[in-house]
Amino acid sequence: MSSAMDDLQWQAMQYVLGEMSDTERDLFEARLADDLAACEAVTSASRLVLTAQAALHETSRTSPPRTAMPVAVHASRRAAWFAVAMTAAAGILCVVALQFAVSVPASRVAGQDSAELVALWRSGMAVDAADVYDPDDAADAVSDAVPSWMLAAVSVEAAAMDGQPEKIQEN
């Protein structure tokens, strides 16, 4: 490549990169209007700049120093989200376990108490019934042994312990 051609290429490169003064640019553009060689030089410079820009853009997107940071950030973000999720899960488990520990045994105790109460009543009635035994009333003894108000009270208590509304069935 001749020196003159080198100079033209370099001028075109400076023109494309916007490195010319206003006067230099005006002079060069006056030349572009009529000089195909100058136009070709600008085309060549422009092509080189565009290609290099694309190449450098790709390099910067794939180079380790630039990608390392976002990856690290993403990793730490993932860890943070994982920790938050695990904490939330543990909290929910604790709440569920606590509810289970409080409500289920309580209902069981209540149920046991109720059963004992009913059994005691029945045994009490049985003793009374033995004292004054009437064979005609024997068939009704079991159903009539526990009064309806007690059954209602027991079912209300159980419902309250379970946290569910329950209909009170009247006999």
Q: Which residues bind other proteins (CB under 8 A)?
A: 1, 6, 9-10, 12-13, 15-19, 29, 32-34, 36, 39, 42-60
Residue type, 58: E
Sort residue 165 into left (φ over 0), alpha (ψ -120 to 50) or beta: beta
Please report how close the Cβ of residue 13 comes to other proteins at its closest, in angstroms: 5
**52 closest CA partner among 5, 13, 18:** 13
CB of 86 to other proteins, least distance (A): 40
Considering the complex, what minimum distance in angstroms separates the CB of residue 76 from other proteins? 27
Residue 73: CB minimum distance to other proteins, A: 22
Report yes or no: 110 and 157 within 8 Å, Cβ to Cβ.
Answer: yes
Contacts of 67 by beta carbon, 8 Å cutoff, 6+ apart: 61
Can you tell me whether residue 103 is helix, strand or coil? helix
Q: Name the residue nearer to other proteins (CB basis): 19 or 144.
A: 19
Name the nearest CA neighbour of 118 among 166, 163, 157.
Answer: 157
Nearer to other proteins, 13 or 129 (CB): 13
Residue among 14 and 107 whose Cβ is closer to other proteins: 14
Comparison of 52 and 138: residue with beta carbon closer to other proteins: 52
